[in-house]
Amino acid sequence: MYRSREHKIIAGVCGGIAERFGMPPTLVRLLFLLSCVLPGPQFVIYLIMWVAVPKAPERHYQY
């Protein structure tokens, strides 16, 4: 799993999760925001993923 370079707003974590599971990035972001209403370590997990998950490799296209 990688953090997204294309679907990135803050760190690309939600975009990376969306790409990994074939979901729309907006839906993953919305689910994350809704989960923040519930008690739990969601924000801490997001910060850990920001640090621990590498960015996706850059794509080099040959024409």
Q: Compute CA distances 52 → 27, 46, 62, whole Å.
A: 23, 10, 31
Q: What pLDDT is attached to residue 62? A: 59
Q: What pLDDT is attached to residue 61? A: 52
Q: Is the pLDDT of residue 16 over 60?
A: yes
Instruction: Indicate the residue type of 17.
Output: I
Q: What pLDDT is attached to residue 59? A: 74
Buried b (16+ CB within 10 A) or exposed e, 5-28: eebbeebbbbbbbbbeeeeebeeb
> How does residue 52 score in pLDDT terms, banded at 50, 70 and 90?
very high
Question: Which whole number is the average pLDDT over 6-12?
Answer: 86
pTM for the predicted model, two decimal places:
0.78
